[in-house]
Structure 1
Amino acid sequence: MAQGDHDRASQSAHAPAQPLDYALIGNGRIAALLDRSARIVWWCFPRFDGDPVFSRLLSGDEEKGFCDIVVEGAVRTRSAYLRNTAIVETLIEDGDGNGVRIVDFAPRYRLFERMLHPAQIIRRIEPIGMPRVRIRVRPTFNYGDPRSAQVVGSNHIRYSGGGLTFRLTTDAPLSYIVHETAFALARPVTLILAPDESLEAAPDTVSREALERTRAYWLSWVRGLAIPLDWQTDVIRAAITLQLCTFDETGAIVAAHTTSIPEAPHTQRTWDYRYCWLRDAYFVIMALNRLGATRSMEAYLDYITTVATSSNGALRPVYGIVHDQPLVERVAEHLPGFLGMGPVRVGNQAAEQIQHDSYGSVILGVAQMFIDQRLPRMGDEALYRRLENLGHQALRFYLEPDAGIWEYRGRKRIHTHSATMCWVSLDRLARIAALLGLAADAERWRGHADAIRREILTRSWSSKLGAIAGALDQHELDASVLLLPELGLLSPTDPRFLKTLDVIGAQLGRNGFMLRYDNDDFGAPETSFLACQFWYIDALAAAGRVEQARDLLDELLSRRNAFGLLSEDIHPVTGQLWGNLPQTYSMAGIVNSCMNLSRNWTEAWPRAAHGPEPGSDFRVDTE
C-alpha cells in the first residue's frame, strides 16, 4: 500500500480493541460492512432497508451470512480506504510472503447523464506470489435463515430465498466456490454480487472499468468539498460516510446502516436504525451546507419537503427511506444478535410515538430553502403555507407531554427540547414570513414564539439543580439542553446556560464522555451517546472555552474505529464503541465540531522566525 494513496483513522496509543472495526462501502442504493480481513459481514439487499443477505454481523457464533476470501496460513492483514474514496483495499499475506490484494467497492459514477448506482458489490482479488485461497459465499434470507436455493450457471451462481434472488458472477472456478475448496490463485479474479441479471462484458472488464470510474467519481466529489484547515482527513471521511448514508432515489438519510447493535454490552436496548429520523434534519443539513455538498443537501430537502407537504400537519418522528412505508417493529428469530446479544429488531416502534420536536426539525431543515441562494429552487409562499400547518400543530402541542428526543418507552414529560423545537417552528416561520414580505404573518408568529420562549425559560429552570432541566417543572438533567444556544433560544454566554453547562459536565460526564441522561427507562444508559459529546464540545466552544473543546474533540476523534467511523455510543470505562454503525448523528458531529473549532485557512502557514511581518515595508539595502 502506497502511503499517499490510503487513509485510515488515527488511533491513540491507549485506544482499545474495537468490537466495531468495520468499513462501510456503498453507492446510494446499497451499503455493506467489511471487517479488517475483508469479510463482508452485512449487506441489505436490494436497498438500505432490505433483507440482510449477508448477516454475519448479527449471527452470534453461527458461521452464516458472509462472503470472504481465506488465505491459507495467513499471518498478516492490513486494510484501509483508498484515499478520499469509499473503496477499501485489504492485503492478506502468509508467512512466506504470498497473499492477496482485495479491492471492495460498490460502483458509483455518472453514465448517460445520470448517476449509475446498481445494487452491486464488486470484489477484485489479485494474487501476490502464489497464495492458496478459499472463496466462501454463505448468504442468508428472511433475516438470518441460511436455507436457500443455489443454482450454478455457466459463469454464475444464483442464490434464492424469501422472495429474493441475487447472483454471483465470477471468473473464478465455480466448483471451488460451491465446495469452498482451496486452490492456488495464479491470476486476478473478480466477484460481482448483484441482482439476477447478466453482465454486459466479462467480470474482469466490468470490474476494471467500474473501479476506475468509481475512484474518479469520489476523488472529484471530495475535491468539491469546503473543508476546514484542521482535521481535514477526518472531515473528508465523515463527509463520504454521510453521502453513503443517503438513499439517492428519495434523498432520505438513514440514521445508520445497521439494526440492533446494542447500545452497551448485554443490554435490551437494541434498535433498527435503517430509517430516517426527522430530527436529524438540522444537523445533517448544517453539515452538508458547511461542506458545500449542495446536491446531497438538496436531495434531503426534497425528502423532508415531501414528508412535510404530505403530512396534513401530523408528523411521525421517523420515516422509511420511502416515506409511506410501515415500520412495524418485530424480532428476527433467526439472528442471535451482535456477539450473541439480541434481540434483533426489524422496524421501529418509535414511528408510533408522539414526539413534538418533529415539527421544528422539519421547519428548521426546510428553512434552508428560503435563505440559500445556491439552491436551484428557492422556497416560496406556497411552501410557506404548507409549513404553516406544522406551525399550528407546534403551537397546539408545545405544552403536551411526549416521549422526547430519547424516545422514552416508559414515561412522558413536557420535555424542554421538544418544547424548544416547537418554539423553533414558530420562530422560523416568523423569519420566513418576514423574508417573504408577509408582515402580518411575521408579527403573529413572532408573538406566539416570544410567549413560548418566556414560558420555556421560566419553567425549565430548576433551582434544585442550579441548571436548566430536561423537562418543564422537573429536576432531571438532560444533555439535549446543550442545544438551546444552537437553536437560538438563549445565548451561549447567558449565565443560566453557563451554569447548566457546568452542572451537565459534572453530573452527566463519565470519564470525559457525556451521558444523555442518568434516569432509568428501559434500562438506565451505560454508555455515552456520542452526539451529546459533540454538543458538549460545541457548547464549550460557543461559551469561549475553545482549548477545552479542542482537547475533547481530539480525544473523541482518536476513539473512531480503524476506518475512521463512529457508531452511536462509547463505553466510558472501556472506551469501546457500541450501537449502530455508522451513526449519522456522530458523523455529522465530526463535520460540525471540526468546522466550529478549526483555524482559518489564512493561518495555514506559520510566520517566519525572522524577517518582516506580512504587509510591512520591505527595503533592500544596496550599499
Structure 2
Amino acid sequence: MAESDGSGYPERMHQPEFSDYGFLSDCRSGALVGRDGSIDWWCPHRFDAPSVFARLLDPAGGHWRIAPLAASRVERAYRPDTLVLRTVHHTPEGSVAVIDALAAEVGARAHQLGMNSPAVLLRVVEGLSGRVRMHLDFAPRPEYGLLTPYLHERPEGAVLATAGPVALVLRGTGQVLRPDRDRVAHTFEVSAGQQVGFDLAYAPVYGPPPARLDPVTMVEETAQAWEAYRETHRYPGQYHDQVRTSATVLTGLTYARSGAVAAALTTSLPERIGSDRNYDYRYSWLRDFAMTMRALWVAACPHEASRLFAWAARSIGRIGDQPVPVLFGLEGERDLSEHDCAHLRGYADSRPVRIGNDAWRQRQLDVPGEVIAAVWQLHDYLGETLDEELREMVLGLAEQVAATWRQPDRGMWETRDIERHYLSSKVLCWGAMHRAVQLAPQLGGQADPRRWAGIRDEIRETVLREGWHDGIGAYTGAFGSAELDASALFLPVVGFLPATDPRMRSTIEVIERELSTDDGLVRRWNTDPAGFVLCSFWLVECLAMAGEMERARVLFEKVLGHANDLGLFAEQVDLDTGAQLGNTPQALSHIGLINAAWRLTEPTTD
C-alpha cells in the first residue's frame, strides 16, 4: 500500500520509482500507470513509436491522470491472468476503484489477441463506498513531448487533440469534458455503485478516425480476451502463479503482428540514477532468442515460440559477409540508428534520453549461436529436412562463425569502449558449431559436420585454456582479464560445462562469494552498484544443476521478493535502496524467472 499525493496537479513533487508503475498492453503497444493514477508512458502506434505521454522521462512530457482529489491509501492488483489493472483508493470520503486496460479488439480470443488492437486506453471508475470527488488531468504531448496539441470540443462532451501526425479523442460516459488550451482538467464525483468510464482513442491523423468504444463493456471484453488467451497455456511446474504472471508479461511485450518480443516497454530508464547508461530497449534482441524460446516453451506458449522463430528467420534474411545484428525492429527493421532527445530531462535528470540503439552496429559473435540453438529447440517440429531458406540461414550462420570466431567483439553487455575476446561470445560460437553438427542431417549436402566438429572442439579448448584465471579461481569475463563477470554463469545454462565440473563449480562459488548479496542479487561485475535480475536467476539455475536444490530454492524465493506488488521486474535492483533500475518491465528478467522455476521443477517432473 502507498499514499498518493492527491493533488490533481500536472507535475509531481517527486519522481515515482519504477516499481510504482503497472503495465498495460494490447500486444501492439503498452502503457505505464502509476500508483497515483497517472499514465506516464504510452506510444500508441506500436511499442517503439513516438510517445504521446512521456512524463516518465520529463515532467512536461505528457500524462493522463485520474485520482481522488483527497489523499488516498492505495491497493492494486491485476485481474488474474490478464493485464487489466484494478487500483483501489481509500479516502476519508469513501473508496473508489479505477480499472485500467488497453483495449483488445472486439471479440478477440486466444491467439487473436493483439492482431488488430484498436489503440484505445480504457479507464473505468467504480464507486465502492461513500461519495468520492475525482480529478482528471489530461495533457497529451505527442512525439516525446515535442508537440503541444490543439484541443477541440466535440459532440457529446468529447475532446479531440491533434498535433503533427497524431489524433486523440477523449470521451467520458455522462461527462462533459472541456479543454483549457493545452489540457483538460475535469472534476467529477462517484458514489457507491456508480461507474464512470473514459476512453482515449488514438489514430494517425491522415487515416480513419479513432475508434469509439464503450469503456465499461470493453474492459470486461478485454479481460475475457486475456483470460481466454491464458487458458490455452498450461504450465505444469512449480511456482505456478509467478510463472503465469511472467508469461503474461512476455505476452504483453509481444508485438502480435510479427511475433517479436520487445526487450522492454521503455527507453532510457537509467541503470544508475544520474548516469548516462540509458538505452532504448523497445526492440527485439537475437542474443536473447534461445532463452526466450525456452521460456515460451516452458510456459506452454508453443504458438508464440513458433511465431517468434518465424519473425527472426525473416528478419535475418540471406546471410552475407556482414555480421547478423544483435537486435532488430519489431517488424524486422535493421537500421536502428540512435539519436538523443535533448529536450527531455530524463528520469531523475538522467541524460541522455535515447531513441534507437546503436548496438545494432556492433560485432556480436554470440548471435549465430542463439539462433542456431533456437533452430535446434524446434528441430523435431521442422521435419527431417529444413526448408530452403531456413537451411540456407543455418548454413550461413555456421560458416560465419567458422570464419569469425577468433575475432574480438563487444560482448554480452554491449560495451561501447573496445572490442575484447569475451568468454560468453566464444561459448556461444561453440554452441553454434555444436548445434550445427547436430542439425547436419537436416541441412542437406552442403553441411560439413566433420569440419564443424573440428572447429567446435578448437573453440572449446580455447575457452577452457584462455577463459580460466588461476589467480581468481574462476572463468572470467574475457580472455586474459582478471575481472570476474556473472556472464560465466551462462556456461552450464547453455550446456558448455556441467555445473558439477570442478572449475565450473569453483566459478559458481567465487561469483556467489564476490558478486552476490545476502538478499539474492547478483552483480554483473565487482564495480556494478546494482544486482542484475537475470544473472540472479542464472545463479539459481547453476545451483540447481549442481544438485544444491534447497539453496537454489531459497535463492529463487529471495529474488522473487524484489518484484513489485504486481509481480513486475525491471532490469536491475539497486543494492543500497532496493529500488528497481533499468528499463521496465524487462523481458529478460521474466524469462530468467520462468527458466529458473522450470529448472527447480525438472528433477521432480516425470
How does the TM-score come out when normalised to structure 1?
0.87
Q: 2:9 — aligned with what? A: none
- CA–CA distance in 2 between the matches of 1:171 and 1:219? 26
User: Aligned match of 1:528 in 531, 537, 546?
Assistant: 531
Q: CA deviation at 1:171?
A: 2.5
Q: CA deviation at 1:233?
A: 1.2
Q: CA deviation at 1:109?
A: 5.4
Q: CA deviation at 1:458?
A: 1.6
Tell me, yes or no, if the aligned pair for 1:41 and 1:54 is still in contact at 8 Å: yes
User: Aligned match of 1:326 in 335, 355, 375?
Assistant: 335
Q: CA deviation at 1:198?
A: 5.2
User: Aligned match of 1:308 in 290, 310, 316?
Assistant: 316
Tell me, yes or no, if the aligned pair for 2:319 and 2:396 is still in contact at 8 Å: no
Matched, 1:95 2:95: no
Q: 2:25 — aligned with what? A: 26
Tell me, yes or no, if the aligned pair for 2:166 and 2:202 is still in contact at 8 Å: no
Q: 2:452 — aligned with what? A: 445
- CA–CA distance in 1 between the matches of 2:273 and 2:387? 49
Matched, 1:210 2:218: yes
Q: 1:354 — aligned with what? A: 363
Q: 1:560 — aligned with what? A: 563
Q: Which moved more, 1:387-396 or 1:361-370?
A: 361-370
- CA–CA distance in 2 between the matches of 1:545 and 1:432? 33
Give the structure with higher Rg (CA): 1
Deviations 1:177-230 (A, max 9, x none): 6551423346532222222455776x4xx3344223322222222223232443
Q: 1:133 — aligned with what? A: 134
Matched, 1:104 2:97: no
- CA–CA distance in 1 between the matches of 2:295 and 2:310? 17
- CA–CA distance in 1 between the matches of 2:447 and 2:64? 62
Q: 2:82 — aligned with what? A: 85
Matched, 1:271 2:276: no
User: Aligned match of 2:505 in 498, 506, 523?
Assistant: 498
Deviations 1:14-72 (A, max 9, x none): xxx9542211111110100111233211111211011111111111xx25511111312
Matched, 1:587 2:596: no
The equivalences for 1:209-608 within 5 A come to 209-312=217-320, 314-324=323-333, 326-371=335-380, 373=381, 379-380=386-387, 382-435=389-442, 441-511=448-518, 512-518=520-526, 524-598=527-601
Deviations 1:488-545 (A, max 9, x none): 2222211110111112222222444211123xxxxx5321111111111111111111
The equivalences for 1:62-81 within 5 A come to 62=59, 64-81=61-78
Deviations 1:301-321 (A, max 9, x none): 011111233443631111111
Q: 2:56 — aligned with what? A: 57
How does the TM-score come out when normalised to structure 2?
0.89
- Paired residue secondary structure (2:416): coil
- CA–CA distance in 2 between the matches of 1:382 and 1:580? 35
Q: CA deviation at 1:325?
A: 5.1
- CA–CA distance in 1 between the matches of 2:186 and 2:390? 61
- CA–CA distance in 2 between the matches of 1:242 and 1:112? 18
Tell me, yes or no, if the aligned pair for 2:263 and 2:284 is still in contact at 8 Å: yes
Give, as a single letter, the amino acid of the residue that structure 2 aligns with 1:235: V
- Paired residue secondary structure (2:254): coil
Q: CA deviation at 1:459?
A: 1.6
Deviations 1:541-574 (A, max 9, x none): 1111111111111011011012110000011222
Tell me, yes or no, if the aligned pair for 1:176 and 1:183 is still in contact at 8 Å: no
- Paired residue secondary structure (2:76): strand
Tell me, yes or no, if the aligned pair for 1:369 and 1:379 is still in contact at 8 Å: no
Tell me, yes or no, if the aligned pair for 1:135 and 1:176 is still in contact at 8 Å: no
- Paired residue secondary structure (1:405): coil
- CA–CA distance in 1 between the matches of 2:589 and 2:163? 35
Q: CA RMSD in A?
A: 2.6
- CA–CA distance in 1 between the matches of 2:272 and 2:566? 21
Q: Which moved more, 1:72-81 or 1:21-30?
A: 72-81
Q: CA deviation at 1:436?
A: 5.6
- Paired residue secondary structure (1:559): coil
- CA–CA distance in 2 between the matches of 1:227 and 1:571? 31
- CA–CA distance in 1 between the matches of 2:532 and 2:454? 36
Provide closer, same or farther for how the CA distance between residues 200 and 22 of structure 1 changes in structure 2, counting only shifts above 3 A.
closer
Q: Which moved more, 1:355-364 or 1:150-159?
A: 150-159
- CA–CA distance in 2 between the matches of 1:571 and 1:440? 48
Q: CA deviation at 1:361?
A: 1.7
Provide closer, same or farther for how the CA distance between residues 378 and 146 of structure 1 changes in structure 2, counting only shifts above 3 A.
farther
- CA–CA distance in 1 between the matches of 2:343 and 2:590? 31
Q: Which moved more, 1:88-97 or 1:440-449?
A: 440-449
The equivalences for 1:157-172 within 5 A come to 157-172=159-174
Tell me, yes or no, if the aligned pair for 2:272 and 2:581 is still in contact at 8 Å: yes
Q: CA deviation at 1:408?
A: 0.9
Provide closer, same or farther for how the CA distance between residues 266 and 311 of structure 1 changes in structure 2, counting only shifts above 3 A.
same
- CA–CA distance in 2 between the matches of 1:553 and 1:528? 14
Give, as a single letter, the amino acid of the residue that structure 1 aligns with 2:341: A
- CA–CA distance in 1 between the matches of 2:243 and 2:108? 31
Number of equivalent positions: 575
Q: CA deviation at 1:438?
A: 5.9
Q: Which ranges of structure 1 fall in alignment gaps of 5 or more residues?
A: 1-16, 519-523, 604-623
- Compare relative contact order (CA 8 Å, sep 6+) and give the higher one, 1 or 2: 1
Tell me, yes or no, if the aligned pair for 1:278 and 1:317 is still in contact at 8 Å: yes
Provide closer, same or farther for how the CA distance between residues 378 and 537 of structure 1 changes in structure 2, counting only shifts above 3 A.
farther
- CA–CA distance in 2 between the matches of 1:148 and 1:559? 39
Q: Which moved more, 1:17-26 or 1:294-303?
A: 17-26
Tell me, yes or no, if the aligned pair for 1:305 and 1:366 is still in contact at 8 Å: no
- CA–CA distance in 1 between the matches of 2:140 and 2:211? 25
Give, as a single letter, the amino acid of the residue that structure 2 aligns with 1:580: N
Q: 1:184 — aligned with what? A: 189
User: Aligned match of 1:173 in 153, 172, 175?
Assistant: 175
Tell me, yes or no, if the aligned pair for 1:256 and 1:584 is still in contact at 8 Å: yes
Q: Which moved more, 1:505-514 or 1:453-462?
A: 505-514
- CA–CA distance in 1 between the matches of 2:67 and 2:512? 47
Provide closer, same or farther for how the CA distance between residues 166 and 379 of structure 1 changes in structure 2, counting only shifts above 3 A.
farther
- CA–CA distance in 1 between the matches of 2:211 and 2:179? 22
- CA–CA distance in 1 between the matches of 2:33 and 2:347? 15
- Paired residue secondary structure (2:134): strand
Deviations 1:439-463 (A, max 9, x none): 9633332222122212221221211
Tell me, yes or no, if the aligned pair for 1:21 and 1:563 is still in contact at 8 Å: no
Q: 2:5 — aligned with what? A: none
Tell me, yes or no, if the aligned pair for 2:133 and 2:189 is still in contact at 8 Å: yes
Give, as a single letter, the amino acid of the residue that structure 2 aligns with 1:138: A
Tell me, yes or no, if the aligned pair for 2:571 and 2:582 is still in contact at 8 Å: yes
- CA–CA distance in 1 between the matches of 2:384 and 2:200? 38
- Paired residue secondary structure (1:123): strand
- CA–CA distance in 2 between the matches of 1:231 and 1:109? 31
Provide closer, same or farther for how the CA distance between residues 474 and 200 of structure 1 changes in structure 2, counting only shifts above 3 A.
closer
Provide closer, same or farther for how the CA distance between residues 266 and 600 of structure 1 changes in structure 2, counting only shifts above 3 A.
same
Tell me, yes or no, if the aligned pair for 2:473 and 2:506 is still in contact at 8 Å: yes
Tell me, yes or no, if the aligned pair for 1:134 and 1:177 is still in contact at 8 Å: no
Q: CA deviation at 1:330?
A: 1.6
- CA–CA distance in 2 between the matches of 1:174 and 1:146? 25
- CA–CA distance in 1 between the matches of 2:444 and 2:383? 21
* Identity percentage of aligned residues: 30
- CA–CA distance in 1 between the matches of 2:490 and 2:524? 12
Provide closer, same or farther for how the CA distance between residues 171 and 209 of structure 1 changes in structure 2, counting only shifts above 3 A.
closer
